A and B are shown apart, each in its own frame.
Chain A
Amino acid sequence: MSNTDLVLEAVAEPNRRRLLQLLHQRKESTVSELVDASGLRQPQVSKHLKALAGAALVSARADGRHRRYRLDGRGLQAAHDWFGSFEDVWHARFDALDELVSTDPDPDRPEEHLP
């Protein structure tokens, strides 16, 4: 599974996106803080964080007895690049459409109709 696949699979789950949003707002959080903020149960939060960490969407550091989680730019960049590719598709499509209509402005063939 490529890194992009890992990232997309990770962010396809709504609670994980919720956790990403919370980490974005809070900059850094422990599991218990995320439990309180999200309303999810602790085992769920831990499971989701593991998936997000596996996709490099979050990273953790030890702080005394706690682990503090924060967003990781590597996975986010992969997701951003993937979604950004849809913008590239529109650019490519419209460039091709423009080439079609501007070089074939008044085709004399009849318009195709469905049966």
Chain B
Amino acid sequence: MTEQTLPPDLSTLAARRGSTQIELSDDGSSYRCVRVFGASPDRVFRAFTDPADLRVWFPSGAPPDSEMTVCESDPVDGGRYHYAMVIPEHGPMAWHGRYTRVDRPDRLDADEWFVMGDADPTGPPTAQTLTFEPTGDGFTRMTMQVNMPEPEDPETFMEQSAAGLTTSLTTMDELVST
């Protein structure tokens, strides 16, 4: 793990707003988000795993009147998490996860199944790895790597909406930019 000095422009919350970098892999099978947060790795790790914290930030970006109906998380090796939301005009959706590696506060791996509606999770999961690196300034650089199971799996295309991001954005970007 390399200690890096923060650029001065990321030292305030206002400056960090919108600074999340999202990169899609060339083949559309994975994406990576990188973001600096203004707290220690331990604090950030906790925000990703503590239900009370998750309820604060996870619903952000959802349409108005969306409701987080389930928020459970048991951050131990093999532990489960389950988030559910009801989104106006889309109905219920749920994220079912299993923590596959928990190294507090450095790293958190999980398999995740996203489902629309009330269905049980099926099929191969996405594999997610979160790493939390101290920046040397008391902040944390978080990297979220998400690997999709079958980028061309058509049947679950609509249902894996987050997954659809990777395969489809890549395709659509290519299509609209030419």
Chain A positions within 8 Å of B, measured between CB atoms, are 8, 11-14, 17, 20-21, 24, 71, 73, 76-77, 79-80, 83-84, 86-103, 105-106, 109, 111-114
Count of chain A to chain B residue pairs whose CB atoms are closer than 8 Å in the complex = 123
Interface SS of A by simple majority: helix
Residues on the A chain within 8 Å of B161, using CB: 86
**What total of chain B residues lie within 8 Å of the partner, measured CB to CB?**
49
- The segment out of B1-9, B47-55, B94-102, B117-125 that lies at the interface is B47-55
- Select one of A13, A73, A112 contacting B176, CB under 8 A: A73
- Select one of B157, B165, B176, B178 contacting A14, CB under 8 A: B157
Known contacts: A101-B43, A102-B37. The answer to whether A17 contacts B171 by CB under 8 A is yes
- Select one of A84, A100, A102 contacting B169, CB under 8 A: A84
Q: Could you tell me the distance in whole angstroms from the C-beta of B63 to the nearest C-beta in chain A?
A: 10
Q: Name which residue of chain A comes closest to B58, CB basis.
A: A93
Alpha-carbon separation in the docked complex, A20 to B47 (Å):
41
- Cross-chain contact B20 with A101 (CB below 8 angstroms): no
